[in-house]
Amino acid sequence: MDLGTSSLSLNTIPTKFLRPIHSSTSSSTLFLLPQPRNNPFPLKATLKEFNIAATQKKMSRELEYSNLTALSPLDGRYWGKVKDLAPYMSEFALIYYRVLVEVQWLIKLSQIPGVEEVPSFSDDAKSFLQGVIDEFTVDDALEIKKIERVTNHDVKAVEYFLKQKCESHPEIAKVLEFFHFSCTSEDINNLAHALMLKEALDNTILPVVDDLIGAIGKMAEDNARISMLSRTHGQPASPTTLGKEMAIFAVRLSRERRDISQVEIMGKFAGAVGNYNAHLVAYPSIDWPQIAEEFVTSLGLSFNAYVSQIETHDYMAKLFHAIYRLNNILIDFDRDIWGYISWGYFKQITKAGEIGSSTMPHKVNPIDFENSEGNLGVANGTLSHLSTKLPISRFQRDLTDSTVLRNMGVGLGHSLLAYKSTLQGITKLQVNVARLSEDLDNCWEVLAEPIQTVMRRYGVPEPYEKLKELTRGRAVNKESIREFIEGLELPNEAKTELLKLTPHSYVGTAVDLALTTEKAVKLVNGKC
């Protein structure tokens, strides 16, 4: 037994090795361990020090929920940055959209001539039902959760709540049993989830993505003419412009944004196993598939006619994977900007009072881009699982999708947090033109490419090999390049043009590509 280890616990030491002693400054009993030969210092520990686990257990019972006690950083530390998603992705939102679907279905039943038991509602009844939706509060949601504690069924709790809520209205009270008529819980849930996604994308996610694309596009056009050394395989390569490199990301993100917006968000409303079994037994003469399609599309969703008990979730897989791809592109952007900052191509504007390092006062860390990259990784882990799991369900239905769907807000929340972090980071960037220029001035060897290409045009033998001998492993500067060009057997006009080249000017169409970024983004989205 090695009694010198710092991880030693009293519980693991036979009592015969412990010698009790008493402290004059404390009522606690201490135990002195025998001093091991290889450790000149005795190991002491009070009973209080070894009761940490019990203290933590007691603390956990006493803690109340707050931003500081939330298990998820989205609901704690980052709440202020992601709270705009809460109306669409929270438990409250799920309950609200369930209420909306149930109420709208009852209204739809009142509009079907063949369902005589639910006559057309008066304007007063319609107004009352609409008020149930429009005036739905957190207290209402808590009441539903209270009912759920008895029913142990979340959707049934919504039905019971609505019956209680509407029993005071004489007209609606007569048709209370038509709440949830011929529905399986998943008829309500799949439409609620679809509406949650649709509203979250339209009102929160896509607007921020648009801001992000716009900010990167502005970087492209503002820096269109600022030449920059490229690096392929980490080595100096043909020059580009800073703006053109930003333009690439603006257009890439636009393509994924387009794909996200073009995903059909779908819904089903076909009963227990997708065949309208109960509907047709109750009202065999009604065209229920047509009614279901009308109802689903009235909610702004696309209709899925071929389903089991659940909507197949294929559109969700497509949607989440499109967001995953957008996030992957943004990771690429974050890492490139991080690298440019580390090379000094960008300076970061500081704010009074901000600290970059707890020990190194000179540091201004690229924390926004690091934060974005980290959160995009967390988001993509969740989105990847959603994409691969949700389309799979045993036979006509299992419940594995139910708990997974509750994490849609996790994937979207970390994505939103990342988008905002990148946007914040962009606002702090300041181009260091002198540093960009310095790198170009030190890399005249990048002109080997245009020189040997012109040599090929005019039939100069072994152009590549001659430039390889000149440049590889040797210091190359303006003078050596000029001397090489002047010694070539080329037409004077060709020599003159080559002698005009510098690492700063050898950028091809980079400037034009950067200046047309906005047009390219609009073209991707069909706006040109």
Q: In whole angstroms, what is the distance from residue 270 CA to residue 183 CA?
A: 8
Look up residue 284 and give its amino acid: P
- Which of 120, 127, 357, 505 is catalytic? The answer is 357
> Exposure string (b/e) for 302-329, b if CB count within 10 Å is 16 or more?
ebbeebbbbbbbebbbbbbbbbbbbbeb
d(CA 199, CA 5): 57
Q: Which residue has the tokens 């926004």?
A: 368
Do the strands 266-267 and 302-303 form a parallel or antiparallel pair, or are they unpaired? parallel
Q: CA separation (Å) from 16 to 30, 36, 40, 282?
A: 15, 15, 21, 80
- Report H helices in 428-516: 433-441, 448-457, 463-471, 478-486, 492-500, 510-515
The gap between the terminal CA atoms of the chain, to the nearest Å, is 78
Q: Is 308 a catalytic residue?
A: no
- Long-range residue pairs from 161-167, CB within 8 A, at least 24 positions apart, any chain: 161/99, 162/99, 162/102, 162/103, 162/132, 165/132, 165/140, 166/128, 166/129, 166/132
Q: Greatest CA span in the chain, whole angstroms?
A: 101
The closest of 253, 241, 262 to 217, measured between CA atoms, is 253
Give CA–CA dist 92/139, Å, rounded: 10
Selected catalytic residue, list 24, 60, 233, 358: 233
SS3 57: helix
E strands, 242-342, are 266-267, 302-303
Q: Residue 475, by phi and psi: left (phi above 0), alpha (psi -120 to 50) or beta?
A: beta
Measured distance CA(19)–CA(272) in Å, rounded = 71
Please state whether beta strands 227-232 and 235-241 pair in parallel, antiparallel, or not at all (unpaired).
antiparallel
285 is catalytic: no
CA pair distance 317, 266, nearest whole angstrom? 12
- For the annotated catalytic residues, the residue numbers are 233, 357
